[in-house]
Chains A and B, each alone.
Chain A
C-alpha cells in the first residue's frame, strides 16, 4: 500500500515561496508513475497543481505554470513543490497524490493534506 505524507511550513509570507515535500513509502518514485500535487482553498473545491513523471518530465496547470516547480529527490524517495510569489489566494490545504499505475488517470493514493496559510 502506497503511503504519502506532506510536510513543510504552515505559514508563508506574501510574495514568498511556498515549499512542500511529499515523503513516499510503499513505492519507489523511481518506478514508472506520476507524482502529483493538488490543493484545496478553505471551503472550496479541488485544483490540480501539477505533476512529475518518474523520469523528470513535468506537467503543470496553465494557471500556475509560471510560479510552480515540482521536483524529485530519488535519494530520499520524496518529491517537492515550490510555488513562488504567493498571495492570500494560495492559502489552501495541499495534497500530494499518485496513481495506481501511470495510465490509470485517477488518484488512488493521497496524503492527509497540509494547510498552508499565506499571511504576514
Chain B
C-alpha cells in the first residue's frame, strides 16, 4: 500500500518560515492535500490540490509538490499556527485514501 512519510515534529520561531515535508514514491504525480488539526478539533483542510487555498486560509500557507516530496510552507509563523499537520493523497492504484503520519508544528 502507498505510504506517506512526515517528520514527527518541526520547530520554528514566531515570524520565521516553517516547512513540513511529505514524502512518497513519485508523490509529485498525485494531488496532495494538507490538513491542520488543533487539540480537540476535527482536522480542516488548509491546502488542496498541492497548492490551492480554501477561502479563509491566510496566504501565509502555501504548498508545492514535485518528485518524491510535497511540502507545506507556512510563512511568518504565528503562535496560532501551532497544530498537527497531515498530508493526504488518493492512491489510484489501490483506490485508497492515504494520510501521512502527521507533523506537530511547535512554535518556540
Minimum C-beta distance from A50 to chain B (A): 9
For B35, the chain A residues whose CB sits under 8 A away are: 46, 107
Complex: chain B residue closest to A51, CB-CB? B97
| CB–CB B42/A46 < 8 A | no
| CB–CB A45/B48 < 8 A | no
A73 within 8 A of B: no
CA of A86 to CA of B88, assembled, Å: 26
Known A-B contacts A105-B31, A106-B33; the reply to A45 vs B42 at CB < 8 A is no
A95 within 8 A of B: yes
For B80, the chain A residues whose CB sits under 8 A away are: none
Known A-B contacts A110-B44, A111-B42; the reply to A46 vs B96 at CB < 8 A is no
**Majority secondary structure, B binding face:** strand
B102 within 8 A of A: yes
Pick the contact of B101 from A36, A45, A112, A113 — CB < 8 Å?
A: A45
Q: Tally B residues with Cβ within 8 Å of A.
A: 24
For A71, the chain B residues whose CB sits under 8 A away are: none
CA of A17 to CA of B73, assembled, Å: 42
Pick the contact of B102 from A45, A95, A104, A107 — CB < 8 Å?
A: A45
Interface residues of A in 54-72 (CB under 8 A from B): 59, 61-62
| CB–CB A104/B101 < 8 A | no
CA of A104 to CA of B52, assembled, Å: 12
For A104, the chain B residues whose CB sits under 8 A away are: 48
For A112, the chain B residues whose CB sits under 8 A away are: 42
CA of A47 to CA of B102, assembled, Å: 11
Interface centre among B43, B86, B90 (most CB of A within 10 A): B43
| CB–CB B42/A106 < 8 A | no
Interface residues of A in 40-95 (CB under 8 A from B): 45-48, 51, 59, 61-62, 95
Known: A46-B88, A48-B98. 7 other contacts (CB 8 A): A45-B100, A45-B101, A48-B96, A95-B43, A105-B90, A106-B31, A113-B42
